[in-house]
Amino acid sequence: MQTLSYPVLLYADPDGDGMYIVEVPDLPGLATEAPSIEEALTNAREAIGLYLEEVQARGDHVPQPGSHGPMMLSSVTVCVG
């Protein structure tokens, strides 16, 4: 059994409904949400496991963590108006 650690993007829902969204760039289409950060990460862990089970059941290659290259959390400042 192999242990994989996928980078995730975690952010507050921009609709302001109090939810947190988690996306997994290495696993296209995988996203989940929850009302707390802890729950969102727990949901992501479960969703990743199910995603990978499905990939393996189809006989496809499991995407490796970081397959989209290194990720960095940063910000960009712009002037408007």
Give the per-residue SS3 of 6-56.
CCCEEEECCCCCCCEEEECCCCCCCEEEECCHHHHHHHHHHHHHHHHHHHH
The whole-number pLDDT of residue 32 equals 95
pTM (whole model) above 0.85: no
Topology of domain 1-81, per CATH?
A: Double Stranded RNA Binding Domain (3.30.160)
Average per-residue pLDDT in the chain?
Answer: 87
Domain-wise residue ranges, the chain: 1-81
- CB–CB of 54/62 below 8 Å? no
The residue-averaged pLDDT of 29-50 equals 94
The whole-number pLDDT of residue 15 equals 87
User: Phi then psi for 46, rounded to 5 degrees?
Assistant: -65, -45
